[in-house]
Chain A
Amino acid sequence: MKTQWKKIKLFIAGISIIISIECFTPLTSYGFSRIVDLLLNNESVKPEDFITTLKKVKKNPKKNKLRVVEARHTNTKNLQFEIDTSGVIVKNENDIQAPISNQGFLDSIQEAIDLWDDVDIANVSFAPLKFASGSADANDGKNIISFRAAEPPEGVPDGANYISIINYARTENVLFMGKNIMVKPGAILDADIIFDPTNNPCLALQTTIGDFKLGGDDVAINEGGVDPSADLSICSSVSGGDITELAIQGIGSALGLDPSAIASAATSSVSEIRERYSLTSDDKIGLANIYPNKKNLKNRGSIRGKVVLNKKPVVGAHVVLEDNNSGEPLVGTLSNIKGQFSINHIPEGTYTVYVEPLDGPARKNVFPRVFYGTVGQLNFTTGVFNKDVTIRKSKTTHLSINVKELSASAFNINYQTVALTEAAVNEFGGAFLLPIRIMPGETITDVQFWGDNISTGFGTLTVSGPGITISNETDASIPISPFVQCEECEDSADNPCKRDPRCPPTDEITVEPDQIQGIIVDITCDPDVEPGPRNIIFTGNQIDPTHPSFGLRDQISGGLIVTED
């Protein structure tokens, strides 16, 4: 009766806590490990049959059991990774053809592995790295990390800075390395990572000792040399290829982790790579959700729930726990096809829980597949649970969070420090150099934010937690396509060329610089602020009924990080 009354209150208030567990039957603890397969009554579901399968399950849930197969290693004690540099055409370490020494590469990878090895809440340990006897091969049962594969794989888009190639079991009975073996579906049989500077010249730029020499001295591109016509202009502003940082991300993927939507996380595919060499609580709790080390997870609790829009489940919503004391986005996950979410091993404490669409820098195209071909919803605004959520030791807190449909006044905040190109806007949502790094006692000036309705008239920018203040918030036109483009042109009587002093005399101007609405602010961090990630939040303050934005919120989760160095 009490539960029923709470359900009624939920209906009336829109948001409420439901204590009864029977309302939720989570399909899976979701959003941490990579999904390998979907099984209907133990038979693999073809992606094209996904929608009809869901209908079938809905019609007869007792008869039709749906199960998700998640990636994980079956044995995470002394995981062995091996280093291969046989593809590097070595002459000496000052040569572009040897952008990093064998030992230097091993040291970089070891540094990345040590970070994952140190996560004491997860039951994962690594054997010391060793040099491999062969090169990357997803079918040899060896986890090999190559710097420039001797025979680079085909079917890879130009520009990828590293590739992880992971071999998963889909069934219990697997033919692997010429033998029939029994494994758990989802088992990672082999995980290789290839760093290839011929595919992304920034990688070579970041790892070269001394001046970068385009193309090397005598090695053709098809033999592993770097393309001499490569555009390196982006490498000066974007740190595109630090081996250790990329390896931290790659090893996370090799452990079965899916990318995080919190920009400060090492496993985030939202942020550009920066030399930070650390894991966030989101990375660690994510790993613990896959490989829990129960011995070190004693004072922790769980959260389960559902995200709802107009009484329907929201797929692919990013659910985040923000620490009330520090403002840190502690951990985030994604809602599944039933709108359900689940996070285990959360430290005891009091949190603000919010649900956001994967917009802004975490653009949908970064997370194209939330669940087996179903993309995440973006048609809602950030919803903050209406009260603080307390996580208690060994207890599970259940929430149902109602979100509102996107309105014309909703926001979509993005950040930049450098003039954007349109390609960056489209591919990364403009998330250059996320997260913003600030040191205690530091002030960063003229930081630019842009997006739907991001202006002083519509709202105010803040940073979660104490000690970080925003000042001098002013409206601005943000250059998003600062480049003038010119093309060769010959005047004719009918079509005179559009000459412009910014173009060569033989050319006409074809594309003008472009601006977009936004704000510019200064960010100040007090000297005594604790290091760690924070959220950048834009909150609506417009109560005009024609443009209501009051209370609406959008944030870049983990968009700022307080660092000590």
Chain B
Amino acid sequence: MTPVKKILKKSVFIWLLLILINSRASTALANSLHEDLKNKEAIVLGKITKKQIIKLNNYYITEYKLKIKNWIYKKPYIANSKTVTLRVLGADLPDKGITIKASTSPDHVPFNTDTIFILNKTKQKYKDIFTLSKNSILSPNKEEYLSHLLQGIHRRNL
């Protein structure tokens, strides 16, 4: 196991541990996570393995297959699948030389890289299709996201 993977595993463990903490001394953190997660469908560690552009009505949408390594958090009604579908408004269309960006979508979705994703409900509220908000990706690269994750935990622990 590489050192980065070790750190990654450790940080995910910390996250999980923090979710499980229920002592009075940690009420702030527990509350924070509880509230933070209330509006999110799931938080997962995984990587995007496939992407395709689809056109629905007048809109270009990028559809991603997200292979899940670890369900860090999920709402009870979500199935424990190994892969989920993400639909995000906007697309890169290199054959046309254009890129379409939506203000609600992340600027960059890392491909084939272990990343923590916060999954949101789509407006259409599909059970098995999620979307990403602007802030749904904790980091596009490992070093950054580990630091972001740990800082996030620290801030939640204010």
A interface with B by C-beta (< 8 Å): 34, 36-37, 44, 47-48, 50-51, 135-139, 151-160, 162-176, 189, 196, 198-199, 222, 250, 253, 364-366, 368-369, 372-375, 378, 412, 421-423, 425-427, 450-452, 480-481, 485, 511-512, 514, 516
With contacts A162-B103, A165-B59, A168-B99 taken as known, whether A153 is within 8 angstroms of B35 at the C-beta atoms is no
- Can you pick out 12 interface pairs between chain A and chain B where the beta carbons lie within 8 Å of each other? A44-B94, A155-B62, A160-B104, A164-B103, A166-B101, A170-B94, A173-B97, A364-B148, A422-B36, A427-B36, A511-B30, A514-B27
Query: Which of A168, A171, A375 is most buried by chain B, counting CB atoms within 10 A of its CB?
Result: A375
One digit per residue, 1 when the CB lies within 8 angstroms of any chain A CB and 0 when it does not, for chain B 102-139 equals 11111110111100000011111100000111111101
Q: Please give me the residue from chain A that is nearest to B36 by CB atom.
A: A426
Question: Which A residues are CB-close (under 8 A) to B31?
Answer: 422, 481, 511-512, 514
The CA of A135 and the CA of B27, in the complex, are separated in Å by 49
Residues on the B chain within 8 Å of A154, using CB: 56, 59, 61, 87, 89, 122-124
Q: Do B35 and A158 have beta carbons less than 8 Å apart? A: no
A427 to B44 Cα, complex, angstroms = 18
Known: A422-B32, A514-B28. A167 touches B100 (CB 8 A): yes
Q: Is B50 an interface position by the 8 A CB rule?
A: no
Contact check, B131 vs A156: say whether CB atoms are below 8 A apart. Answer: yes
| A170, B94: Cα distance in complex, Å | 8
One of B39, B89, B104, B151 near A423 (C-beta < 8 A): B39
B60 smallest CB distance to A (angstroms): 7
Q: How far apart are the CA atoms of A51 and B143 in the complex, in Å?
A: 11
B27 nearest CB across to chain A (Å):
6
A518 vs chain B, min Cβ distance (A): 10
Q: Determine whether B75 belongs to the interface, using a CB cutoff of 8 Å to chain A.
A: no
Q: Is the CB of B97 within 8 A of A36?
A: no
A157 to B32, CA, bound (A): 21
In the complex, the answer to whether B95 meets A175 with C-beta atoms within 8 Å is yes
User: Assuming the A-B contacts A158-B125, A162-B103, A426-B32, are A171 and B137 also in contact, with contact meaning beta carbons closer than 8 angstroms in the complex?
Assistant: no
Complex Cα distance A157/B103, Å? 11
Q: Measured between C-beta atoms, what is the minimum distance from B5 to chain A in Å?
A: 18
**Per-residue CB proximity of B44-62 to A under 8 Å, as 1/0?**
0000000000001111111
Query: B6 contacts the other chain (Cβ, under 8 Å)?
Result: no
Q: In the complex, what distance in Å separates the CA atom of A211 from the CA atom of B145?
A: 46
Q: Contacting B88 at CB < 8 Å: which of A34, A155, A426? A: A155
Q: How far is the CB of A25 from chain B (nearest CB, A)?
A: 25
Contact of A158 among B62, B107, B120, B155 (CB under 8 A): B120
Within the complex, the shortest CB–CB distance from B106 to chain A, in Å, comes to 7
Interface residues of B in 15-38 (CB under 8 A from A): 27-28, 30-32, 34-36, 38
CB pair A375–B139 under 8 Å, yes or no, is: yes
Contact of A423 with B36 in the complex, beta carbons under 8 Å: yes
A51 surroundings in chain B (CB, below 8 A): 141
B155 / chain A contacts, CB cutoff of 8 Å:
412, 426
Contacts A153-B61, A426-B156 given; indicate if A176 touches B35 (C-beta within 8 A). Answer: no
The answer to whether B101 and A422 have CB atoms under 8 Å apart is no
Q: Please measure, in the bound complex, the distance between the C-alpha atom of A423 and the C-alpha atom of B107, giving whole angstroms.
A: 22
* Cross-chain contact A157 with B100 (CB below 8 angstroms): no
List chain A residues, Cβ under 8 A from B27. 511-512, 514
* Inter-chain residue pair count (beta carbon < 8 A): 195
Note all chain B residues with C-beta closer than 8 A to A168.
98-101
Q: Which chain B residues in 59-94 approach chain A with CB under 8 Å?
A: 59-62, 87-90, 92, 94
Q: Report Cα–Cα, A156/B111, bound state, in Å.
A: 20
- Given contacts A154-B124, A158-B122, whether A175 and B58 have CB atoms under 8 Å apart is no
Known: A165-B90, A174-B96, A374-B141. 19 other contacts (CB 8 A): A50-B141, A152-B123, A154-B122, A156-B102, A157-B120, A157-B121, A158-B122, A158-B123, A163-B102, A165-B59, A165-B101, A166-B101, A176-B98, A365-B135, A373-B107, A374-B140, A412-B155, A427-B36, A514-B28
The 5 closest A-B pairs by CB, nearest first: A422-B35, A155-B89, A171-B97, A137-B58, A157-B120
Q: Which B residues fall within an 8 A CB radius of A?
A: 27-28, 30-32, 34-36, 38-39, 56-62, 87-90, 92, 94-108, 110-113, 120-125, 131-137, 139-141, 144, 148, 151, 155-156, 158
- The residue among A174, A368, A451, A485 with the most chain B CB atoms within 10 A of its own CB is A368
Q: Contact: B87 with A516, CB < 8 Å?
A: no
Contact A155 B87, beta carbon cutoff 8 Å? yes
B144 touches A164 (CB 8 A): no
How distant is B56 from chain A, measured CB to nearest CB, in Å? Answer: 5
Please report the C-alpha to C-alpha distance between residue A160 and residue B103 in the assembled complex, in whole angstroms: 9
Tell me whether A165 and B100 are in contact in the complex, defined as CB-CB below 8 angstroms, given that A152-B123, A426-B35, A511-B31 are known contacts.
yes
B residues less than 8 Å from A155 (CB atoms) = 59, 61-62, 87-90, 102, 105, 122, 131
Q: Indicate the member of A155, A158, A516 with the most B CB atoms within 10 Å.
A: A155
Residues from chain A with a CB closer than 8 A to the CB of B133 are 157, 160
Whether the Cβ atoms of A138 and B122 lie closer than 8 Å is no
Give A45 Cβ to nearest chain B Cβ, in Å.
Answer: 12
| Residues B158 and A156 in contact, CB atoms below 8 Å apart | no
Q: Which residues of A contact B136 (CB under 8 A)?
A: 157
Chain B residue nearest to A183 (CB atoms) is B97
Give the complex CA separation of A412 and B157 in angstroms: 13
The CA-CA distance from A159 to B134 in the complex, in Å, is 12
**Nearest chain B residue, comparing its CB with the CB of A47:** B108
Q: Provide the bound-state CA to CA distance between A374 and B144, in Å.
A: 8
> In the bound complex, do residue B108 and residue A369 qualify as a contact, i.e. CB atoms below 8 Å apart?
yes
Query: Which B residues are CB-close (under 8 A) to A36?
Result: 99, 101
B89 contacts across to A, CB distance below 8 A: 153-156, 163, 165
Closest to A186 in B: B99
Q: How many angstroms from the CA of A452 to the CA of B121 in the assembled complex?
A: 32
Residues of A within 8 A of B134 (CB): 368
Residues of A within 8 A of B35 (CB): 421-423, 426, 481
Give bound CA distance, A171 to B101, whole Å: 15
Tell me, in angstroms, the Cα distance from A137 to B104 when the chains sit together.
16
Residues of the B chain whose Cβ atoms lie less than 8 Å from the Cβ of A481: 28, 31-32, 35
Q: Let me know if A138 and B141 touch, CB within 8 A.
A: no
CA distance A450 to B158 in the complex (A): 10
**By the criterion CB–CB under 8 Å, are A372 and B151 in contact?**
no
- Please give, as numbers and ranges, the residues of chain B lying within 8 Å of A160 by CB-CB distance: 103-104, 133
Residues of B within 8 A of A170 (CB): 92, 94, 97-99
CA distance A481 to B88 in the complex (A): 31
Q: Give the distance to chain A from B55, nearest Cβ to Cβ, in Å.
A: 9
Bound complex: CA A47 to CA B111 (Å): 9
Q: How far is the CA of A157 from the CA of B33 in the complex (A)?
A: 20
Question: In the complex, what residues of A have CB within 8 A of residue B100's CB?
Answer: 138, 165-168
